[in-house]
Amino acid sequence: MLKFLLIAPYRGMKDLLEDIPTAPDYEVHAEVGDLKQGLNIARTAELQGYDIIISRGGTAQLIRSQVQIPVIEITVNGYDILRSLTLVRGYRGTIGIIGFPNIVDGVDTIAELLDIQVMTFIIHHEHEAEAAVNKAKELGVDLVIGDVVTVVVAEHAGVRAILITSGREALQESLLQAEQMARKRQAEAHHRVLMKSILDALQHGVVYVDAEQNVKFCNEQAGRQLGVIATTAVNMKWAELIASTSTSLIYTDVGRSADRTKGADRTDRTAVRSRTDSFKLQWANPTEDLILVIEHSLAEQGTIFELHESQAIEGLERRARKVREDRLSPPRSRFQQFVQTDHINDAYMDKAKRWSKQLYPILITGEPGTGKKTLAEALHNDSPYQSGPFVLLDAGSCTTEQQDQQLFGRLDQDSSLLRRAESGTLHIQRIEQLSLPVQRKLAAALQASHAALIHDDRPPFRFIASTAADLAHQVNLGEFDQQLHVQLQIYSLHLPPLRSVTAELDHIVFWYLAEMNRTLGSQVLGIKPDALNRMTTYEWPGNFAELQQVLKLIIETCEGSFITLQHLQPILDSLMNKQDKTTNSSLEQLIGATRTLEEIEADIIRFVLEQEGFNQSATAKRLGMNRTTLWRKLSP
């Protein structure tokens, strides 16, 4: 309940208030008192918890200058002046109006409309009233209109006087203003409490220092960091506050960090923060209790200091990099998104989950469209690095120079992918497309990174590579670095092509349709048998990604609850026409104009081996030869 106090300069105003209905969510009390008497009443009200004081004229101005409670001033409006002038209309003597500017302003206009001659005398302080009355008296004024002070002085001087009273309209307007101001102050107080709660809940300290270096705000975390009670720190000098703490402080201003570091004269610690990169902190003793101070200048308003504990800095930087990288390639996939087949079975998923927890590099092999990136994201999201960024590089999309710069950065920059992937995962797609010099640099970087495992420590980042190529064959051809291949081949996961699991196509289509119904808002319930049989005769060179695209195209035009052969056939015909053209072109390229039968045979064997997931028994059976013959033909 809001509490308002009306300090009425005359009795009639208090009586008028009693006739005005008030709102149910505030109460109004009234006291009579002018100027100093009104001020004494206001001072008492300040101790009684009133929200707003309402008064008029000089009394309102005096109270406003002496107390902290907001004061709403009852303005003398046109109605009030009109009533007073109407009352004296027809008076045969000389009329004078004496008062503060808010009373006198506008009198001339109203008097002219009423055809009344009035002399005006403006005062700015109560002690000027006597001189104004005397001057008016000298000029022949024998009737004074004015405020309480003027009326009292005029009557004491023997001049007749009429009080300008405030009407119901002015009082109601003042009550409305009081309610609006009180609501605003309540909202501001709530906002201040909320902001303090938010700042107190922060994991880092916040201190606000004004232009005179006085501490005006200190949240609870800053108090704990500096070893003081937060409320005690307020109004201390900033220099005094940091001098009282035993914690070492280091500023982000590198040029001044040496002379502003408390408790040490070492220069082997640096704190760096810029607009283009997150800050880094290095110091000689990582176990030291150190606070990083970040300044935010507010110019003439002072300075805000952020206080970050050294243990929290790495986490802040990691989260910042994760947010930035996730905007480019958010790793949303999880293991449960994979449709289980004879190959991607419980044993396969259990192995993948176990490997996601270990810290060595992982190689994912499989044809385009088999879900290598999805599996890489799932490995990241189930790994000890899941809270860090997921950084992606497609090696086949950039030149050798770009590969080197993106992976390792330039000397004048620190934005390399290896740096961006710290505390997270670096996934390189089509790793076979890296140039040999870049492969060797990457192998060396991985070797240095995983040297931490010898000391039971975590490498700075997780590495996952994916490829559709036979890396072992490329090593034999001298096109892939052997050391990098050794690092990758220990933990290798193969994703089979769709054509190898067509017997389970109905199961795969069912799960894809269920997911599309959820994400696309479709209502397709299944696929007709003849359409499913037609799907099994297609080779699906684009694998699972191509199947998903075909289903999506059908769903966008399908009006029924089931996919029929009529929905499917036009799309597959179009795909097969494109495939025939590509096959003819590929056959011409395979045979060439000068290639020998042995060279053509070697390419065919490698192609079938890749299709069979590098399973030599299955490859030999498909090619109609025994494993010994196949092994001999694969040997360089």
pLDDT tens for each residue of 144-185 = 998 888 888 999 999 999 988 888 888 999 999 999 999 898
- Are 21 and 77 in contact, with CB atoms under 8 Å apart? no
Per-residue pLDDT tens over the stretch 483-532: 999 999 999 999 999 988 888 899 998 888 888 888 777 878 888 899 89
The predicted model scores a pTM of: 0.51
pLDDT band per the 50, 70, 90 thresholds, residue 553: confident
Q: Token pair of 153, please?
A: 């002085």
* Domain 2-75+170-183 and domain 355-494 have a common topology: yes
Q: How far is CA 49 from CA 77, 162, 186, 376, 464, in A?
A: 30, 36, 14, 64, 67
Q: Which two tokens stand for residue 482?
A: 């052997």
Q: Note the pLDDT tens digit of each residue in 370-413.
A: 999 999 999 999 999 888 889 999 998 888 888 998 898 864 45
With 70 as the cut, is the pLDDT of residue 586 above it? no
CATH number, span 205-322: 3.30.450
Evaluate whether 98 touches 144 at the Cβ level (below 8 Å).
Answer: yes
**Tokens matching residue 389:** 């960024």
The full set of domain ranges for the chain reads 2-75+170-183, 78-165, 205-322, 355-494, 515-634
Length of the chain: 636
Mean pLDDT of the chain: 82
CB contact at 8 A, 480 and 440: no
User: In 3D, which of 241, 453, 497 has the Cα closest to residue 365?
Assistant: 497
Tell me the percentage of the chain whose pLDDT exceeds 90.
Answer: 33
CB atoms within 10 A of CB 600: 13
Task: State the pLDDT confidence band at 259, using cuts at 50, 70 and 90.
Answer: very low
Higher-confidence position of 587 and 452? 452
The residue to which tokens 């008016």 are assigned: 136
Lowest mean pLDDT, pick from 166-175, 250-259, 271-280, 364-373:
271-280
Q: With 60 as the cut, is the pLDDT of residue 278 above it?
A: no
Instruction: Answer yes or no: are the C-beta atoms of 328 and 348 closer than 8 Å.
Output: no
Q: What's domain 515-634's architecture?
A: Orthogonal Bundle (1.10)
Q: Which residues pair with 254 in a beta bridge?
A: none
Six token digits for residue 575? 């795909």
250: Cβ contacts below 8 Å, ≥ 6 apart: 257, 260, 261, 269, 271, 281, 283, 290, 291, 292, 293
Of 36, 2, 32, nearest in space to 17 by CA: 32
Sign, Cα dihedral of 58, 64, 66, 67: positive
| 87-98 mean pLDDT | 89
What does the pLDDT read at residue 329?
Answer: 66
| Alpha helices (runs of H) in 264-384, residue ranges in sequence order | 310-328, 346-357, 372-381
Per-residue pLDDT, averaged over 295-324, amounts to 76
Q: Which CATH number fits domain 2-75+170-183: 3.40.50.2300, 2.60.120.260, 3.30.470.20, 3.40.640.10?
A: 3.40.50.2300
Say yes or no to pLDDT of 628 above 90: no
Nearest to 77 by CA among 95, 41, 103: 103
Q: In the numeric block, which tokens belong to residue 321?
A: 């990099």
Task: Point out the least confidently predicted range of 13-17, 387-391, 398-402, 586-590.
Answer: 586-590
Sheet strands side by side (includes 215-218):
215-218, 205-209, 303-309, 290-297, 248-251
What's the CATH code, domain 355-494? 3.40.50.300
Taking the CB of residue 550, how many other CB atoms lie within 10 A of it?
22
Give the pLDDT score at 263.
Answer: 40
Res 438 pLDDT > 90: yes
Band of pLDDT at residue 350, cut at 50, 70 and 90 = very high
Thinking of the domain 78-165, which architecture would CATH place it in?
A: 3-Layer(aba) Sandwich (3.40)
Other beta carbons within 10 Å of 563: 23
Is-contact 460 422, C-beta < 8 A? yes
